[in-house]
C-alpha cells in the first residue's frame, strides 16, 4: 500500500473534476477521431477507448490502492485465483471482455431491430453532457472519500 494514498486519490479526483468541467465548457468534439475510415473500425474503437480513459481503471490496482481484505468473499477468491497464475488472470480478462462485447452487441442489435435506423438518425441524446456531469459527480465523491 502506498504511503501517499490520500494524495494520489485527491489528485486523481481533482483531475477527474477538472476534466469534467473542461468537457462542460468545451463542447466541441474532437474531429480527428471522426475521420477514421469505416474499414478501420478496430483502430477507431481503440482510439475512442483510449481517449475516454478505459485503461485508467487499472491504475488503482497497480498503485496498490485495492486491498483484498476490503473485498467480499467472491472478489477475494477471484483475486487469489488470478494471483496464482498469469494464464488464469488473462483468461478472466478475456472472458470479461467477451461478456462486455457480447452484451453491447446484443443491445445494439435490439435497438436496431426494434427502433430502427430512422429513430437512431433522428433522435439525439447528449451523452457528452451526461459524461461531463458524471465525471464531476464521481470526482466529487472521490474527493470526499479521499
Specify whether the CB–CB gap between 140 and 17 falls below 8 A: yes
Question: What value does the mean pLDDT take over residues 89-105?
Answer: 85
Q: Of the candidates 95, 115, 94, 113, which has an alpha carbon nearest to the alpha carbon of residue 105?
A: 113
What is the domain range of residue 62? Answer: 5-145
3-class secondary structure, 83: helix
Q: Give residue-wise pLDDT tens across range 26-82.
A: 877 666 656 767 777 777 777 777 766 666 666 565 555 566 566 677 767 777 776
Question: What local confidence, expressed as pLDDT, does residue 114 receive?
Answer: 86
H runs (alpha helix) in 1-146? 5-25, 41-51, 59-62, 73-84, 86-114, 116-122, 127-145
Burial class (CB within 10 angstroms; exposed 0-12, middle 13-18, buried 19+) of 139 = buried
- The DSSP secondary structure of 87-125, one letter per residue, reads HHHHHHHHHHHHHHHHHHHHHHHHHHHHTHHHHHHH---
Count up the domains in the chain and report the number: 1
Q: Report d(CA 50, CA 25) in Å as an integer.
A: 21
Task: Output the pTM of the full model.
Answer: 0.50
| Euclidean distance between CA atoms 64 and 5, whole angstroms | 9
Amino acid at each position: 500500500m502506498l504511503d501517499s494514498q490520500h494524495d494520489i486519490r485527491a489528485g486523481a479526483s481533482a483531475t477527474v473534476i477538472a476534466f469534467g468541467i473542461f468537457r462542460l465548457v468545451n463542447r466541441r468534439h474532437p474531429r480527428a477521431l471522426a475521420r477514421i475510415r469505416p474499414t478501420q473500425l478496430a483502430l477507431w474503437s481503440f482510439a475512442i477507448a483510449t481517449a475516454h480513459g478505459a485503461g485508467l481503471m487499472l491504475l488503482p490496482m497497480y498503485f496498490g490502492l485495492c486491498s483484498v481484505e476490503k473485498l467480499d468473499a467472491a472478489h477475494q477468491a477471484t483475486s487469489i485465483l488470478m494471483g496464482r497464475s498469469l494464464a488464469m488472470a488473462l483468461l478472466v480478462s478475456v472472458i470479461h471482455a467477451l461478456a462486455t462485447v457480447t452484451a453491447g452487441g446484443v443491445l445494439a442489435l435490439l435497438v436496431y431491430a426494434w427502433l430502427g435506423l430512422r429513430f437512431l438518425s433522428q433522435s439525439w441524446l447528449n451523452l457528452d453532457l451526461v459524461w461531463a456531469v458524471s465525471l464531476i459527480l464521481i470526482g466529487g465523491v472521490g474527493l470526499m472519500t479521499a
